[in-house]
Structure 1
Amino acid sequence: MDYTRIPLADCPTGTEGEVMLFALDRVHRKFAWKTGGLTVDQLQQRHPPSKMTLAWLIIHLTRVEADWTAKAEGRSHEESLGGMDWDAHGRQPDRLYGLWYDTIARTRQSWATMINDGGLDTVVDWGDGYRVNRRRALTDILEENLLHTGHASIVREAVDGLIGNDPP
């Protein structure tokens, strides 16, 4: 993954939604940097006792971003990336990285549209009768990305020694 493919424009005085999207863009760049440029073996490397791999983190965040954005749009999360051969993507770095990049670009556009059209106060069904507003959904997506970017940082250091908080 090449983190420079993710645009990042400073947002010192944006609206609530714009600042939240800026924060998500920034964490996407960090995650892309922490997981990018690796071989299949490096992406699949485990560090016992954990079974977590960088490939799993990429797949997981791809699903979370696609599914939760679809739900925030009022669509079935099965529509987001259903039928995907996740094992094949996990074994092919270019396909795996491409799927994640395409997903975050698509969901970023979806969130920009939702923020401009209906705002973050729109309430959506999150399943089993649990209802949240889009603000909560976007916050949950940001939180999930932050959590797993931290995981990626630790795992990546164990894979090849890459350290740091921000891409060069």
Structure 2
Amino acid sequence: MDYTDIPIQECLQGPEAAMLLFALDRVHRQFAWKSGGLDARQLYAKHPPSGVSIAGTLVHLAKVEEMWTASAAGREPGPPARGDRPWESYDAEWTDALDASPQELYELWYGTIARCRAEWAGLVADGGLDVACTDDPGWVVSRRRRLVDILEENLLHTGQTSIIREAIDGLVGNDPP
């Protein structure tokens, strides 16, 4: 599956939601480009002093996307796209990814992103971004905040991945061709 095969859907709410979802779609496409087409050695490469690898980032971003989308939807997190173990087993995703093949890592990320993107389109259509969501007792945020949190996390790690990818094979730029 190629992320570019997933169409950017028209949002049913005003320009703010459409722009936030467009921004998230764009950073997903950037991350897919920066992380895509690598073999296991390249995915697991670390570039000191950081211990971050693209493999760990694929798992981390899938986990964050599912957890925060579930929060916005008022549901428990669903199973990972790679369903042979629960999300909780990814608590050390930066190192736990070491037992996954490139295909498994890409399936996990792409599958999670596709499910969450479709769910966000539904959330925007059903109540919008002002709906409150509760993660922990006493901690209440809006769907808007959750969407911004997801966007921010993706932006941070796409930047890291861009630097790692440039070190691997010289790929540079902001948007896929």
Residue 57 of structure 1 pairs with residue 60 of structure 2: no
Equivalent positions of 1:13-162 (< 5 A) are 15-77=15-77, 79-81=78-80, 83=86, 87=96, 91-162=100-171
Deviation at 1:153, TM superposition (A): 0.3
TM-score (norm 1): 0.89
- In the alignment, the residues of structure 1 paired with residue 28 and residue 35 of structure 2 have an alpha-carbon distance, to the nearest angstrom, of 10
* Contact persistence 2:9–2:121 (CA under 8 A): no
Deviation at 1:91, TM superposition (A): 2.8
* Runs of 4+ in structure 1 over 6 Å off: none
* Contact persistence 1:2–1:33 (CA under 8 A): no
- In the alignment, the residues of structure 1 paired with residue 86 and residue 53 of structure 2 have an alpha-carbon distance, to the nearest angstrom, of 22
Deviation at 1:80, TM superposition (A): 4.6
- Structure 1 gap ranges (5+): none
Ranked by relative contact order (alpha carbons within 8 Å, sequence separation 6 or more), the top structure is 2
Q: Aligned pair count?
A: 165
* Contact persistence 2:56–2:97 (CA under 8 A): no
Root-mean-square deviation (CA, aligned residues, Å) is 2.2
Residue 93 of structure 2 corresponds to none
- Structure 2 gap ranges (5+): 91-95
Provide Cα deviations, 1:28-50, integer angstroms capped at 9, x if missing partner.
00000000000001000011111
Q: 1:90 to 1:25 in 2, by over 3 A?
A: farther
